[in-house]
Amino acid sequence: MRAICIFITVMLFGWTTFASADSLNEAIADQVDAVTERVVAWRRDIHAHPELSNREFRTSALVAEHLRSLGIDVQTGVAHTGVIGVLKGGKPGPVIALRADMDGLPVTEKTGLPYASTVRGEYQGREVGVMHACGHDNHVAILMGAAEVLASVKEDLPGTVKFLFQPAEEGPPKGENGGAKMMIAEGALQNPAVDAVIGLHISQGEEVGRASVRPLGLMASAQRFDVEIMGSQTHGARPWAGVDPIVVGAQIVNGLQTIVSRQVDITQHPVVVTVGQFEAGVRNNIVPETARLSGTIRTFDPDVRGQVHEKIRRVVTQVAESQGATATIDIDPGVPVTFNDAALTSQLSPTLEAIYGAEHVSEPARITGAEDFSFFQEQVPGFFFFIGGRPADLPASKAIPNHSPYFYVDEGALPLGVHAMSRLASDYLRAGAE
């Protein structure tokens, strides 16, 4: 008889737990529906008013005001313009962090959207257009929505949610600190100590209504390199009287391409070396004294990364020397590989499937894009996933890449993102409190 009573008690306790979980999930779904219209409005407002890295003043003020209106404890000025919100649940439990990046890019928008950006800013001493060409406006609006959803059910949450609104994911201006690394240094993962962190990214790589996640290495490490070439200025009609840094720079660019094509086994180790800037001269008939190159390096393996850096240094210095010029190169530390914790990915992937449908969640190939979310993942287990933003009537072959002046997303992705972030947080907290 005692065994039967124990069995009935266990069954009743289990039924109550599952009923409670179902009730919380339903409440979250209802709140997602209720907040969707505001999420779309926030996203359009942020899109129309983009701000460059470490200059996200308007965006951070909007975020802080919204979090305070929800009764969430707010800290501002983290890593210059970052915002941290702390939502304490009604029951004890673990601490989960949800992150969104806030910065735009020096890109002049060409989408033609009614809320397209017309903002101008300054980047590296130049006047530039400013655009949310990487979708960070969506990330901010999604996390603002998730904050409202989770605040509405906080009494049923066993633990704490930290909202990390991060500046300068695209990299702080040269000579400044910023981004995830600076947020961590200023205590973003402490008080209370974070047990795990979750982030997302939107793109047209997948159709709206789909998501993808990959355990272990997902996105590449990235480093910026800067090359300064010193030649000898002369008249353009007498180039033999000087040393042309433009020609030297062109040969360096060509030499750098052989690193990937001829010096790395790319069947085993994906590598990218791209020169994105080449600046020299002020007049058509003057051979200038200097030229400057700047680019990016993408790798997935620390040993390969070191080898590629050495090869780049050799190409730069020896090509310059062969032409009678000199060259210096600086390679910054950059960001590490975006690495999803295997156990956390296994734990949270079913939640992603519950929101999008198992048939709509896939495992992507490794991505040569980079994310400074990886700094958070170096400190605590992290789960980073992609959500689709490509309109259903746009074929994959016509997908517009992030960082394009034509980049846009289907706003149907927004409520799904809010739902995913909210459920991932609540499911993680419930599992940790059991």
Residues with a catalytic annotation lie at 103, 169
Beta-carbon contacts of residue 212 (< 8 Å; ≥ 6 apart): 206, 361, 362, 363, 364, 385, 386
Q: Angle between the 302-322 and 245-262 helix axes, to the nearest 10 degrees?
A: 150
Residue 271's CB is within 10 A of a number of other CB atoms, namely 23
| Residue 282 identity | V
CB-facing half-sphere around the CA of 80: CA atoms within 13 A: 23
Beta-carbon contacts of residue 22 (< 8 Å; ≥ 6 apart): none
C-beta separation of 369 from 220 below 8 A: yes
Structure tokens at 80: 């210059």
Between CA 101 and CA 200 the distance in angstroms is 9
Per-residue three-class SS string for the chain: CHHHHHHHHHHHHHHHHHHHHHHHHHHHHHHHHHHHHHHHHHHHHHHHCCCCCCCCHHHHHHHHHHHHHCCCEEEEEECCCEEEEEEECCEEEEEEEEEEECCCECCCCCCCCCCCCCCEEEECCEEEECECCCCHHHHHHHHHHHHHHHHHCHHHCEEEEEEEEECCCCCCCCCCCCHHHHHHHCCCCCCCCCCEEEEEEEEEEEECCCEECCCEEEECEEEEEEEEEECECEECCCHHHCECHHHHHHHHHHHHHHHHHHCCCCCCCCCEEEEEEEEECCCCCEECCEEEEEEEEEECCHHHHHHHHHHHHHHHHHHHHHCCCEEEEEECCCECCEEECHHHHHHHHHHHHHHHCHHHEECCCCECCCCCHHHHHHHCCEEEEEEEEECCCCCHHHCCCCCCCCCCCCCCHHHHHHHHHHHHHHHHHHHHHC
